[in-house]
Structures are given as structure tokens and as C-alpha cells.
């Protein structure tokens, strides 16, 4: 467990913060910026700043409000403005210290500022360590649509530090765990079996995090721009993103986490997989039981089906107006580009509702 080579950059697991400092020192950057949110500013920044004390390079901290509500054009414009005010030039470096929101928005802000400056990801949530930080997708939400504006821009490096997970609330641990379970379901049955029996009252073992990154990385290296098989990573996300957006619109600050929404999406899409792609009844029951035991139930009655369906129609994976899903042929194996009808999708929501 050391370094994984991704598309054009290393994902570093060992002596992470030392390696980050070395990276900054060797990079010849004119200056650097650390993007945080209010929580990572409090819990993670001090750990990093201790290591930066002896550096000669000057740096500034840019802090935004925490949460998905900040992942929008207004906060992004705020970051651009701060970069201008701080005099960021093309040889500046942006360090995204935070969860998927900071990684996605910071990556987007960096990839567009002065036509692109270097950035590195220092993911501090489990979700961003196992998923969001690797693969080069940057972006923001717009017009109530998730990640609708963005770029494929690779970071210069990703630094995965287990110590950051110590302060992460359990609900956020479980959110990231959903993506780990997804990685097992789509690519590795043994990994799924290991995860479904693991104790997740605390952060998972670094080895399990590493395995998840390795699975995701293999997929994105083979298909960096999501022309084909990378869509397998979207298992659970066609329904899940719609549920997530629905919850953001309806539940205010009490909205579902990304992982909670994806867990619901995975149950629905496992049902679709049973119907259309070969997943057996036993496998469907197993997936449903594991996910329902880990994640809170969420009310999705008939009245929300049409809203959810409209949201699914805006999914970026769709082609020619058809809603496309990644489905499981069996646990550990999947196939992409299954067209699902409105009726099937609503039936899958009924299956979830029980």
C-alpha cells in the first residue's frame, strides 16, 4: 500500500503530508492556496499547517461554507475573486483540502482560472478519498442539477491521509462506505463480501480504502473521459442523483447525504438488474438487506415519482432522451447502457418503498 498511478498523477497513501510538503517544495510554485470549508478549516487545516511551518513559500487560505449548498457558481465566483485579489498567477497551486464538494468545486475553479492552474486533491471525507478525488471530474451544481457544469481536468496529485477521517462524523463515514460497496458490487465480489461483514462504527481500515481507490482507478485509467465502460461507476447514481436532488430541494438542511441517496439508488437499480440484467433473486435480496441495514429509510411515495423521473431525464448519461442505467449482471460484474422505461423506474422505486 504505497502509491497508485492514475491517469497522469500519483495517488499517495504513505507519509502523505510529508509527501505533500515535498511536492510543494519541488513544484516551483509562485504561491499556493488552500481551499477549505468551515469544518475542514477547523479539523484538518491545523494538521497540514503544522507541516507547512518551515516552508518558505507564502500561501493563503480560502474558506467557503460547508455542504452541497455551496457547490454553485456564486461560491465558485467567490473563489475566483479571492484568487484575483490574492494575486494568483498561472504558476500558482491550489490545494483542495476537504470532501467532494471542495474537491469538485476547487478543481473546477482551478481548471478555469486563467485557463487552468495546477491543483492537488487532499480528500478529507471517506467519500472523497475512495471516489471523488480520483478521476479528474470537477464541477458545480447549477439550476438545481447536480454537477451539470464542469470539466475533466486531472489534478497533479492526490494525497490520501487516514488521520483526517478521525474527526469525520459517522454519518459521513457511512456516506463514503456506499461508494465502497458500489465498487465491490460492480467489480469485485470478494471485496463486497469483505465490506458487508466489516465493522463500520469507525473509519474503515486504510487497506480497504486503498482497495476501493484501486478499483475506481483501474476503471478511470481505461476510460478517462467516460466514453464507455467508466459509466459502470454510475451504478446506483441514475436513481440516486435524482433522489439526492429531490432531497436537497425538499428537506433543506436535513437532506440526504450523497451516499445515503446512492444507497437508495443501488437498491432500485439492483431491482432493475434483477429484471433486466441477470442478477439473481438471492443476490437482489442480499444487496437490499445489506443496504437497508446500513442506511436510514427514506419516504418516496407515489407523489414524488414524476419529479424523480423528470430529474432522471436530465442525467448526463442519457442518450437520445432515453434514461440509461448501469446494471449488475451479478455481484462483482456489471454492464452499461441499459435503457430503462419510466414504468420500470417507478416500479423500482415501489420496490424500495416496500
Residues that bind ligand NAD (CB under 6 A): 37, 39-40, 43-44, 66-68, 71, 98-102, 104, 124-125, 127-128, 131-132, 135, 137, 146-147, 164, 167-168, 172, 175, 258
Question: Per the residue annotation, which of 182, 196, 216, 255 is the catalytic one?
Answer: 216
Active site residue 147: no
Q: Does 43 participate in catalysis according to the annotation?
A: no
Strands (E), the chain: 3-5, 10-12, 32-37, 59-64, 93-98, 118-123, 137-142, 145-152, 158-159, 323-330, 333-340
Active site residue 350: no
Which residue's CB is nearer to ligand NAD, number 75 or number 351?
75
Measured in degrees and rounded to the nearest 5, phi and psi for residue 149 equal -115, 125
* Residue 232: strand, helix, or coil: helix
Indicate the residue among 216 and 338 with the shorter CB distance to ligand NAD: 216
**Least separation, in Å, of the C-beta of 92 and ligand NAD?**
22
Tell me the closest approach of the beta carbon of residue 277 to ligand NAD, in angstroms.
23
Q: Is 63 a catalytic residue?
A: no
Q: Return left, alpha or beta for 320; rule: phi > 0 is left, psi -120 to 50 is alpha, else beta.
A: left
Among residues 275 and 316, whose Cβ is nearest to ligand NAD? 316
Active site residue 283: no
Contacts of 266 (CB under 8 A, 6+ apart): 178, 181, 182, 185, 235, 236, 240, 287, 291
> Whats the size of the chain, residue-wise?
354
Rg of the chain over Cα atoms, rounded to whole angstroms, equals 20
> How many Cα atoms occupy the beta-carbon half-sphere of 55 within 13 Å?
22
List 137, 146, 183, 317, catalytic entry: 137
Angle ∠(344,250,268) on CA atoms, nearest 5:
25
Is 196 annotated in the active site?
Answer: no
CB 270 within 8 A of CB 288: yes
Q: Is 250 known to be catalytic?
A: no
∠ at Cα 118 (112, 124), nearest 5°? 100
Do residues 312 and 323 make contact, with C-beta atoms less than 8 angstroms apart?
Answer: yes
Closer CB to ligand NAD, residue 124 or residue 238? 124
Q: Which residue in 146, 182, 183, 258 is the catalytic one?
A: 258
Residue of 39, 146, 231, 237 with catalytic role:
237
Q: Which is nearer to ligand NAD, 262 or 272 (CB)?
A: 262
Nearer to ligand NAD, 69 or 347 (CB): 69
Q: Indicate if 237 belongs to the active site.
A: yes
C-alpha–C-alpha distance, residues 290 and 207, integer Å: 21
Give the shortest CB-236-to-ligand NAD separation in angstroms: 11
Residue 274 falls in the annotated catalytic set: no
Q: The C-alpha cell of 184 is what?
A: 465491490
In the complex, the smallest distance separating the C-beta of residue 288 from ligand NAD, rounded to whole angstroms, is 23
Q: Annotated catalytic residue: which of 230, 255, 274, 338? A: 230
Q: Which residue is nearest to ligand NAD (CB)?
A: 100
Cα 332 from chain centroid (whole Å): 20
CB of 41 to ligand NAD, least distance (A): 9
In the complex, least distance from residue 147 CB atom to ligand NAD, rounded to whole angstroms: 5
Q: Could you say which of 96, 217, 234, 324 is catalytic? A: 234
- Catalytic positions are 115, 137, 179, 216, 226, 230, 234, 237, 241, 258
Amino acid at each position: 500500500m504505497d502509491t497508485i498511478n492514475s491517469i497522469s498523477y500519483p495517488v499517495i497513501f504513505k507519509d502523505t503530508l510529508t509527501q505533500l510538503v515535498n511536492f510543494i517544495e519541488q513544484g516551483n510554485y509562485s504561491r499556493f492556496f488552500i481551499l477549505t470549508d468551515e469544518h475542514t478549516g477547523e479539523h484538518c487545516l491545523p494538521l497540514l499547517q503544522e507541516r507547512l511551518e518551515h516552508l518558505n513559500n507564502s500561501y493563503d487560505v480560502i474558506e467557503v461554507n460547508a455542504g452541497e449548498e455551496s457547490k454553485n457558481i456564486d461560491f465558485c465566483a467567490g473563489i475566483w475573486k479571492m484568487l484575483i485579489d490574492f494575486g494568483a498567477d498561472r504558476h500558482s497551486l491550489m490545494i483542495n483540502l476537504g470532501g467532494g464538494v471542495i474537491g469538485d468545486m476547487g478543481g473546477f475553479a482551478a481548471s478555469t482560472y486563467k485557463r487552468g492552474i495546477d491543483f492537488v486533491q487532499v480528500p478529507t471525507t471517506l467519500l472523497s478519498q475512495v471516489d471523488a478525488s480520483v478521476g479528474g471530474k470537477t464541477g458545480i451544481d447549477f439550476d438545481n442539477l447536480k454537477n451539470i457544469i464542469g470539466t475533466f481536468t486531472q489534478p497533479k496529485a492526490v494525497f490520501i491521509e487516514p488521520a483526517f477521517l478521525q474527526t469525520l462524523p459517522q454519518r459521513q463515514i457511512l456516506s463514503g462506505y456506499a461508494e465502497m460497496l458500489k465498487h465491490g458490487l460492480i467489480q469485485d465480489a470478494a471485496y463486497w463480501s469483505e465490506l458487508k461483514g466489516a465493522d463500520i462504527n469507525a473509519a474503515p481500515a486504510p487497506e480497504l480504502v486503498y482497495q476501493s481507490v484501486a478499483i475506481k482507478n483501474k476503471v478511470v485509467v481505461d476510460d478517462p473521459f467516460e466514453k464507455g465502460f467508466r459509466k459502470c461507476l454510475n451504478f446506483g447514481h441514475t436513481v440516486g442523483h435524482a433522489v439526492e436532488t429531490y432531497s436537497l430541494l425538499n428537506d433543506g438542511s436535513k437532506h440526504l447525504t450523497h451516499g445515503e441517496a446512492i444507497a437508495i439508488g443501488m437498491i432500485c437499480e439492483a431491482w432493475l438488474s434483477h429484471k433486466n440484467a441477470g442478477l439473481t433473486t438471492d443476490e437482489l435480496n442480499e444487496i437490499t438487506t445489506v443496504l437497508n441495514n446500513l442506511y436510514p429509510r427514506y419516504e418516496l411515495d407515489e407523489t414524488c415519482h414524476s419529479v424523480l423521473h423528470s430529474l432522471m431525464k436530465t442525467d448526463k448519461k442519457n442518450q437520445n432522451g432515453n434514461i440509461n442505467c448501469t446494471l449488475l449482471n451479478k455481484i462483482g460484474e456489471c454492464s452499461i447502457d441499459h435503457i430503462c422505461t419510466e414504468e420500470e423506474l417507478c416500479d423500482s422505486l415501489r420496490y424500495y418503498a416496500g
